[in-house]
């Protein structure tokens, strides 16, 4: 009878590594499958979970991440200890995902997106921590032999820290549709404010530069080739003609009015929080989402308007942007009237913005008329 050959420590170590890898992959696949549930709208029949409970579960995950990290603070851990802590962590992560799904009941697209992004960050950081822990176990022979990469000694605390940060960030995630939409509108306001700041930096070409350019042109022989003027990025936007500066200043008025309107709209939206009813708010949330979309469209047109002000100014594109802003503002006011809560400052901001847009459109029409008249005069003189 053939005697069974004893299993070497190297073979046992290899088997433990393979088992850890299989366990890790199994856990990751399970979490991936659970996470896909968050991509689906939560049924209204599902009990609403308070975001507070999701945050609490995040705190438990942070503590469990610390336990995973502590395995590597002393001697090299055994495979069984890594597997057990990994299983405990994944169980908590699974519960965290299910609670997060429950918190998205009655959530509109904006709130759902915020929840999804926050949860995804926690999941991604968790995967990196668990993968690093298993990867370090594979390198234990190198650690014992003294050929271990010293930079990786601090890898586990770093990955634990990212889990802490992701879980801590859950506190900043909006818990209601109004809060989520209000923050998204605030981002629009910030973008409009950036455009306004850039517009105010536009300057006309100085009279000295104009005189110098005119002198060079008058003294240069006709047959001498034109030389390229020295140009730098700092000169961009600083060479507007007097007529172009008038248009730019009118645009500043429009953008200032837009910023004031968006800010008043955010205040009005915030005041609506008492109307948000988780049990019957489909139409309410739909109206809020429409308001947000309209604000984002206005923000996009403000960007377009700002880009068109650099010479040579694109007057037709400027007109289109102004008309789209005006149309969106009309829809915003109509939507706000459905809430029957439009404040006087908000209504006044609508009126002021429309006045600024009309003034600028009238000026552009005058510029177009002047261009046509000048062309006709040139044709008459030529004939």
pLDDT one-digit tens code per residue, 41-93? 778 778 889 999 999 999 999 999 999 999 888 777 888 999 999 999 999 99
Nearest to 343 by CA among 254, 242, 246, 263: 263
Lowest mean pLDDT among 48-52, 205-209, 279-283: 205-209
Burial call 235-271: b when 16+ CB within 10 Å, e when fewer: eebebbeeebeebbebbbbbbbbbbbbbbbbbebbee
Give the Å distances, CA to CA, from 234 to 195, 196, 245, 246, 314: 17, 18, 18, 21, 21
Phi then psi for 67, rounded to 5 degrees? -65, -40
378 pLDDT band, cuts 50/70/90, is low
pTM for this model (two decimals)? 0.80
CA distance 62 to 350: 48
Residue 235's pLDDT is 46
- What is the rounded distance in angstroms from the CA atom of residue 267 to the CA atom of residue 178? 11
């Amino acid at each position: 009878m053939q005697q069974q050959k004893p299993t070497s420590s190297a073979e046992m170590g290899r088997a433990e590594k393979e088992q850890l890898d299989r366990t890790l992959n199994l856990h990751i696949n399970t979490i991936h499958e659970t996470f896909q549930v968050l991509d689906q709208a939560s049924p209204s029949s599902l009990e609403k979970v308070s975001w507070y409970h999701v945050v609490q579960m995040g705190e438990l995950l942070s503590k469990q991440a610390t336990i995973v990290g502590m395995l590597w603070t002393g001697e090299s851990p055994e495979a069984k200890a890594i597997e057990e802590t990994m299983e405990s962590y994944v169980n908590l992560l699974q519960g965290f995902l299910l609670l997060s799904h429950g918190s998205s009941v009655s959530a509109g697209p904006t709130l759902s997106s915020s929840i999804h992004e926050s949860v995804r960050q926690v999941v991604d950081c968790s995967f990196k921590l668990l993968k690093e822990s298993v990867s370090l176990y594979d390198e234990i022979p190198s650690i014992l032999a003294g050929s271990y990469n010293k930079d990786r000694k601090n890898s586990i605390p770093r990955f634990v820290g990212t889990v802490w940060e992701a879980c801590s960030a859950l506190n900043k995630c909006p818990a209601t549709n109004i809060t989520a939409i209000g923050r998204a509108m605030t981002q629009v306001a910030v973008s409009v404010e950036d455009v306004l700041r850039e517009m105010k930096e536009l300057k006309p070409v100085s009279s000295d530069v104009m005189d110098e350019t005119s002198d060079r042109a008058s003294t240069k022989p006709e047959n001498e080739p034109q030389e390229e003027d020295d140009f730098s990025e700092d000169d961009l936007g600083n060479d507007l003609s007097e007529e172009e500066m008038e248009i730019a200043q009118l645009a500043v008025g429009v953008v200032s009015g837009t910023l004031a309107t968006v800010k008043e709209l955010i205040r009005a939206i915030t005041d609506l929080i008492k109307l948000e009813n988780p049990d019957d708010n489909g139409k309410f949330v739909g109206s809020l989402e429409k308001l947000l979309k309209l604000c984002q469209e206005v923000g996009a047109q403000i960007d377009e308007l700002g880009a068109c002000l650099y010479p040579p100014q694109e007057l037709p594109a400027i007109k289109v942007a102004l008309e789209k802003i005006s149309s969106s503002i009309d829809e915003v006011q109509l939507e706000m009237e459905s809430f029957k809560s439009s404040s006087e400052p908000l209504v006044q901001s609508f009126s002021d913005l429309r006045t600024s847009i009309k003034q600028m459109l009238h000026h552009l029409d005058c510029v177009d008329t002047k261009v046509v008249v000048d062309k006709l005069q040139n044709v008459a003189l030529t004939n």
